[in-house]
Amino acid sequence: MIILAVDTTTFSGSVALLEDGQLLTEINLSPSATYSELLLPAVDFILKTNKLEVKDMDGFAAAAGPGSFTGIRIGLSTVKSFSYASGKPVAPVSTLEALAFKLRHSQAHLSCPILDAKKGEVYAALFESVEGKLKVVVSQGVYAPDRFLSLLPAQRIITFIGNGVEVYRDKIFRYFKDKARFSPRSHFIAHEVGLIGQEILKKKKGVSAEKLEPLYFRKSQAEEKH
Q: For residue range 180-215, what is the model confidence (pLDDT) as tens digits?
A: 999 999 999 999 999 999 999 999 999 999 999 999
Pick the more confident residue, 130 or 103. Answer: 103
Average pLDDT, integer, range 58-87: 97
The reply to whether domains 2-94+187-225 and 103-182 share a CATH topology is: yes
Lowest mean pLDDT: which of 26-30, 47-51, 149-153? 26-30
- Which of the four pLDDT bands, split at 50, 70 and 90, describes residue 105? confident
Sorted by where each begins, the domain ranges of the chain are 2-94+187-225, 103-182
Q: For residue range 86-100, what is the model confidence (pLDDT) as tens digits?
A: 999 999 999 999 999
Q: For residue range 107-157, what is the model confidence (pLDDT) as tens digits?
A: 668 999 999 999 999 999 999 998 888 999 999 999 999 999 999 999 999
Contact 158, 110 (CB under 8 A): yes
- Return the pLDDT at 108: 62
Query: CA of 86: how far to CAs of 53, 59, 118, in Å?
Result: 10, 9, 37
Angle 104-105-111 from CA coordinates, rounded to 5°: 45
Report domain 2-94+187-225's class: alpha beta
Average pLDDT, the chain: 94
Distance CA 165, CA 91 (A): 27
CATH number, span 103-182: 3.30.420.40
Pick the more confident residue, 133 or 79. Answer: 79
- Return the pLDDT at 226: 41
- Please enumerate in sequence order all residues whose Cβ is within 8 A of that of 28, keeping only pairs 6 or more positions apart, or say none: 12, 13, 14, 186, 188
